[in-house]
Structure 1
């Protein structure tokens, strides 16, 4: 087995990072690699719990071994506090990761041949370099955002941002003449809603950048059709998207849902089976979005007002402080509410008409890969850029307009749902884009070829 590469995969500790890197790991397994999938203990426990604690099923006989190391924070720490979490990770995890690699070698005879590190965990590439193993970067967001990160010195020189990363004035700018215009209002590190955090996030990005040069490969969850200009701007960056879960295999539910932090409610698929073709509004805001009571009420009443069937994901787990009561006047008769959904399976269902989304990049890719038009409701960081890209560049979605109090009203929700569902041109563009994206995964497709090149390099 010595010629089988063992790849250590290290995502940042969040659902939007764990999910695509798990799908990448499953692809690498299909090509004959072994995977050590390393997460923080906090995330690891969520992954195991979401599968009904079937850890033995996952790690025994599987070529993906789930391993955890502590992030250094206490059990009750607020892991949504970006600064505390990543300070603790930087102070605690590097030494523990190095120790883990050594223990794997001494105790289990496992030689790690490559580390694939998430952009937010690029410190691991220093460890790879130090101990003489290969290193690769995985960027889980749009390629355009990595292009933006790589342009920070120029953005400062051009007076677009100050030395703390904050926009100098509200305006649009281009990274190159062919690059789609970007808005200073969607510079992702400035869209953190914890006061004073934007500068800390910016400094963290600046800290990550030099490590990128230690990676021999830069992989990104995108496609050439989606972001040709960004990929031309960063020729080293290879698109390997869309990373989609496979539902054709005979592998168990455990394998398919590996990497999910919450247990999926599969009853929604049976419910969708009962709904007319292209009739259902799917509403899901990812793992971090929080609404206040007023906005939650407007959303509930807006869905009711559409008079259409809807499937709405409302998280109710222990670390979600979003447990809001539905308004008394909300009947919800035409809808179904679940705590967590098998999103890719939902989006591929013929009953889905449109996707009301926070526009996280994974959700964006999944929606685009299923030809579903978007209603964009961004909440934090890169989601504002993704919304702009969906609406203005790809033209497969609309945004919501808030009122003078910053509230998206129930009338506005109904109005935009009606507009999207009556726009045949938008639906047609979404279908064309879907075909382009999926062609990347076929034999000879760009993403498929890129992944082949990466795997051949791993096996050298």
Structure 2
């Protein structure tokens, strides 16, 4: 008897791999086999970061197998050049994926690849999927608003709101609906103020997405209808199935697909702190700071007098290891805990966590919202500015940490916003309401639950 088999292909970045894996766990939980495909360099990071993952990854206990395909790069290529990697993948990946599907289909004809789920930025792989007899499905790890903006770029270009570089040409904002926060001219997903060449490359990638995504049978989005109804309505074939949270799969033996080893010592540290007393600080996997900005943040946290858990990646300080102000570590002592990477959702769900100083990436946003944690917003680039607008203006569950005229967020500004957060019960109350909305949506018979069931029923046919 033939059974469904899903092939999942994420964009090669932490914020894209992780939510697609969460979706795949939900699919696998229903007894459907999933083969999860990373390029070799990403596969190696995940294996190195998680002690529970073997190189072969032949543990099929949870119906998910991790496999890798070549990056397609030559030894001379810069491994950190994402733009070059994407161009290389557009040419090399279709052949590698076709070979992989052929190999899988040949080894077990009763479990042929019946569906290919790809990140919206990798949707050019759908042509290969259809040639191999697999139903193409697009997955958006960003907000419904972010994907709506991308899908509407052809119209915005045609109507003259944007030029071919992705620059706003009419007014200072782009608005798709009065109920969705507008985008300011320098805060579009592809914006790179002062670097028009890079902006055009990102914009050209965005412009190509609508055509390929329209080939998909479904567009699955890591959001729930109740938190962005108007944005969901802007994309007619969008199915909101989120927020995808680890708490939905508490017993899953799968690894977290983290690129960094998670330091769980922070959980025991949190256990010894009073309820809602700790400021959690994390800027995701890509943001980098100048030494001056890092110093201001350190002083802001210290001067707040609050307990803090701070995630400092080894490359956070302009790509190199952080240097703290003289005597900082001695002065903060047990009041502060610094780790290179944290099990974020377990931190956010911990009773001691009071608020989240965040770059406002969509994964962090829905993880904070799903756990009822208010935000102090510090966006870095791309869609993070629009997510900040949702958090502060639409949902009213956070405050902006504002940069000064020199672009630096000062210690006084950081301390002031932390103080304000602990004085404003309204933010916490609103955050708890949002948590309840999300829980209802993913709970039995909720909108996201029903949408996911619709999709899985289709896979089973």
Please indicate the TM-score interval, normalised by the length of the shorter structure: over 0.9
Alignment correspondent of 1:227: 228
Offset at 1:154? 2.5
Kindly indicate whether the alpha-carbon contact (under 8 Å) linking 2:359 and 2:379 is maintained by their aligned counterparts in 1.
yes
Are positions 1:454 and 2:452 aligned together? no
Q: Which residue of 1 aligns with 2:380?
A: 379
- Distance, in Å, in 2 between the alignment partners of 1:327 and 1:195 is 35
Task: Tell me, yes or no, if the aligned pair for 1:161 and 1:168 is still in contact at 8 Å.
Answer: yes
Match of 1:327 in 2: 325
Q: How does 1:381-400 map to 2 (within 5 A)?
A: 381-400=382-401
1:23 aligns with 2:22: yes
Q: 2:65 matched to which residue of 1?
A: 65
Q: CA deviation at 1:324?
A: 1.9
Question: Can you list the C-alpha shifts for 1:298-319, whole angstroms capped at 9, x where unaligned?
Answer: 1111110111000000112699
Taking a change above 3 Å as real, the CA distance of residues 139 and 402 of structure 1, as seen in their structure-2 partners, is same
TM-score normalized by the length of structure 1: 0.94
Contact 1:347 1:370 in 2 (8 A): yes
RMSD: 2.1
Structure 1: how far apart are the matches of 2:40 and 2:28?
Answer: 23
1:310 corresponds to which residue? 308
Any conservation in 1 of the 2:314–2:322 contact (CA below 8 Å)?
Answer: no
**Secondary structure at 2:442 match in 1:** coil
SS at structure 2 position matched to 1:35: strand
Number of equivalences? 456
Unaligned ranges ≥5, structure 2? none
Q: C-alpha deviations, 1:352-387, integer Å up to 9, x for none?
A: 111000101000000001111101111121111111
Cα distance in 2, alignment partners of residues 179 and 411 from structure 1: 32
1:262 counterpart = 2:260 = yes
Distance 2:141 2:2 in 1: 28
Report SS of the residue matched to 1:188. coil
Q: Distance in 1 between matches of 2:194 and 2:287?
A: 11
2:66 alignment partner, SS class: strand
Question: What residue is the counterpart of 1:144 in the other structure?
Answer: 145
- Indicate the SS of the match to 1:122: helix
Aligned to 2:183: 182
Q: Deviations over 1:400-419 (max 9, x none)?
A: 12122111111110001111
- Other structure's SS at 1:444 match: coil
- 2:53 corresponds to which residue? 54
CA shift for structure 1 position 395:
1.2
For 2:288, the equivalent position in structure 1 comes to 290
**3-state SS, counterpart of residue 351 of structure 2:** coil
Q: Paired residue for 1:153?
A: 154
Report the counterpart of residue 370 of structure 1 in structure 2. 371
Aligned counterparts of 1:458 and 1:250: Cα–Cα separation in 2: 24
- Matched with 1:84 is 84
Q: Secondary structure in 1 aligned to 2:376? A: strand
Residue 93 of structure 1 is matched in structure 2 by 93
Match of 1:275 in 2: 273
Query: How far does residue 430 in structure 1 lie from its aligned partner after superposition?
Result: 0.7
Distance 2:8 2:86 in 1: 18
C-alpha contact 1:218 1:237 (8 A) present in aligned 2: yes
SS in 2 for 1:395: coil
Q: How far off its partner does 1:197 sit?
A: 1.0
Q: Is the 8 A contact 1:5 1:459 kept in 2?
A: yes
Q: Deviations over 1:252-310 (max 9, x none)?
A: 4xx2x331111100000000000011110000000001111111111111110111000
Of the structure 1 ranges 53-62 and 201-210, higher mean CA displacement relative to structure 2 is found in 53-62
Aligned to 1:413: 414
Gaps (5+ residues) in structure 1?
none
Change (3 A) 1:177 1:314: closer
Alignment CA distance shift 1:271-1:177 (3 Å):
closer
Distance (whole Å) between structure 2 residues aligned to residue 220 and residue 57 of structure 1: 30
Aligned-partner Cα distance in 2 for 1:291–1:320: 5
Change over 3 Å in CA distance of 1:178–1:393 after alignment to 2? closer
**Residues of 2 paired with 1:61 and 1:320: CA distance?**
40
CA contact (8 A) 2:192 2:198 kept: no
